[in-house]
Structures are given as C-alpha cells and as structure tokens.
Amino acid sequence: MSKRTAMTAVILAATFAAPEAPVAQEQPRPGMSCPVDHDQLADILKKSVKPAGGPSNGGLDNNEWAAVVNRQGVVCAIAYSGSKVDDQWLGSRAIAAEKANTANAFSLKNKAMATANLYAGAQPGGFLFGAALSNPPAPEVLYAGTPDEFGTARDPMVGKPVGGVIVFGGGLALYDGNGIAGALGVSGDSSCADHNVAWRVRHFLGLDHVPAGVSPNMKDAIIYDIGPDGKSPSGFGHPKCDGKEDQIAVDLGAGVSGNVVR
C-alpha cells in the first residue's frame, strides 16, 4: 500500500468513527429534608446561652456551636452563638456535628439515646466499649471550605454526612409529631453544660416529643449516677462536671441525679 493510500484510509477511519459518548452531567440534588434551618437554629442557640443574653447552664458559660443532621445523617444546619466565628472554641464545630450524628445514629423511632447516655457503656469493660471508634468522621467534610463560611448558612459541611461518634453530653435526637426527625449536637462548654444547652434548644425548636429513653420517666435525660468506684448502676451514667450543671439539669428536667434512674 502506498503512503498516499494509507493516509487516505486513516482520514476516512477518523471521519466515520463512532462519536464520543457525551460526558455525564451531574444531576441536581433533590431538596434535602431538614427539621431546622440555619437562621432558626442560630436564633434559638443565642437565646439559650448566657453570653448572648440567655440563662446560665452551669459550666463555663461559653458561647456554643450547634449542628443539626436529618434522619439520613446529613448535616442540615450549623450555627454559633457569638458574634464571630472565633467567639467559641473552634474545635467544637466538628464535635457538635459529630454529636448530632451520634444521637441520630443510636436513637430509634420509639427510643431516644442522648450522647450522655453512652458514656458509661463506652468505657473499658462496658457494653459499648469501642463505639467511639466505630464510625470515624470524614475529614474531607470537616475541613472543607474556608473558615469565614463556618457556622453560616453556607457552611461547607451542610449537605454532607459527617460521621463520628461522641460519647459524652451534648447530643440529642429530635422528635416531631411523626417520630424521629434527626438530631442536634451542641459543643463549646463542659459536656454537662452542652447537654443543658441542647435540651433548651430542642425544647424551643418544638422537637422534644421524645417517646421513651433509657431513663423510664426522664427519657433521654443525662443520668448522674456514677459513684466513687466509677460504676454506673443504670449502665447509662455520665460523670458530673465541676460547676452547677447537674442541678440545672434537674431543674430543667434534663437530668437525673443520684443512684436511682427515675
């Protein structure tokens, strides 16, 4: 075959080759179901902490972060109570989201489990030992975006599942009139104060229709029954913190103090 004939064959093959497959277009994500929006969460959080004009929660009375996930574990909203992003512990943004993920992941339609209820069982020898390592958080979600968007309606964590398991106070499942709708996490103070803040926020959101929990009457209240030996008679206890958090929890109906789960 001559060079000219060969070149002609190449040109014809290229001309009549099958067209390239079209590049797949990213499909728009359907509307995300969420029990709370950012502005609602931010407003109620500010009203629930002392630095922003709310009541004391018995701990350090710091500003706080709050995060909400829907029932699918996707982050819906993240907010902070201060006037700017570093008015509260920067590390607590991730902890708040992981607390929300935990409360959602370990709660059912007919029984709530607060993150505070997981503490005793997650200690060495407990029936949940190792749970804190069972669902690692996603660093590519936690650290995406730029800090000037953290805690805003444009927070880069929104719309993504974050993972993570936290086994101390501050995470509560959210229940509307139809059942479990997701969960709330609060962080930025002692874990005991975080639980109190979360309890206040959930109540003012109207998402506290909790059907039952590990404490028969108090449902998913924090249980302060860990004795000097480190044991929790209920199996769902949480240690006391250094302030007045336990008394405030009792006053709120958010906690049980003593060796009897009521």
List the strands of the sheet with 179-187, edge to edge.
Answer: 75-80, 65-70, 179-187, 171-176
The dihedral through the CA atoms of 222, 226, 230, 236 has a sign that is negative
For 235, the domain range is 32-257
Kindly state the helix (H) or strand (E) to which residue 75 belongs, with its residue range.
Answer: strand 75-80
Amino acid at 208: D
Give the model's pLDDT for residue 21: 43
Which of 26-30, 41-45, 157-161, 257-261 is predicted least confidently?
A: 26-30
Give the model's pLDDT for residue 2: 52
Provide the pLDDT confidence category of residue 259 given band limits of 50, 70 and 90: low
Residue 82 lies in a domain: yes
Residue 113 lies in a domain: yes
pTM for the whole structure: 0.87
Longest Cα–Cα distance of the chain, Å, equals 98
As for how many domains the chain has, the answer is: 1
Q: State how beta strands 255-257 and 222-224 pair.
A: parallel
- The model's pLDDT over 94-131, given as tens digits with 9 standing for 90+, comes to 999 999 999 999 999 999 999 999 999 999 999 999 99
Beta bridge partners of 70: 182
- What three-state secondary structure class fits 246? helix
Residue 22 lies in a domain: no
Checking if the pLDDT of 18 tops 50, the result is no
Distance CA 160, CA 143 (A): 12
Residue 26 lies in a domain: no
- The model's pLDDT over 207-243, given as tens digits with 9 standing for 90+, comes to 999 999 998 777 999 999 999 999 999 999 999 999 9
Residue 187 lies in a domain: yes
* Token reading at 128: 């949940």
Beta bridge partners of 224: 257
Distance CA 88, CA 243 (A): 19
Check: CB of residue 156 under 8 Å from CB of residue 56.
no
- The model's pLDDT over 137-193, given as tens digits with 9 standing for 90+, comes to 999 999 999 999 999 999 999 999 999 999 999 999 999 989 999 999 999 999 999
Distance CA 194, CA 171 (A): 8
Residue 20 lies in a domain: no
In this structure, what CATH number is given to the domain that contains residue 86?
3.30.450.150
Closest C-alpha to 55, from 262, 252, 224: 252
What percent of the chain has a predicted confidence (pLDDT) above 70?
A: 86
Residues in the chain: 262
Residue 90 lies in a domain: yes
Checking if the pLDDT of 47 tops 70, the result is yes
Please count the CA atoms within 13 angstroms of the CA of 150 that sit on its side-chain side: 27
Using CA atoms, how far residue 101 sits from 5, 27, 104, 184, 253, in Å, is 68, 26, 5, 8, 23
Give the model's pLDDT for residue 215: 85
Residue 83 lies in a domain: yes
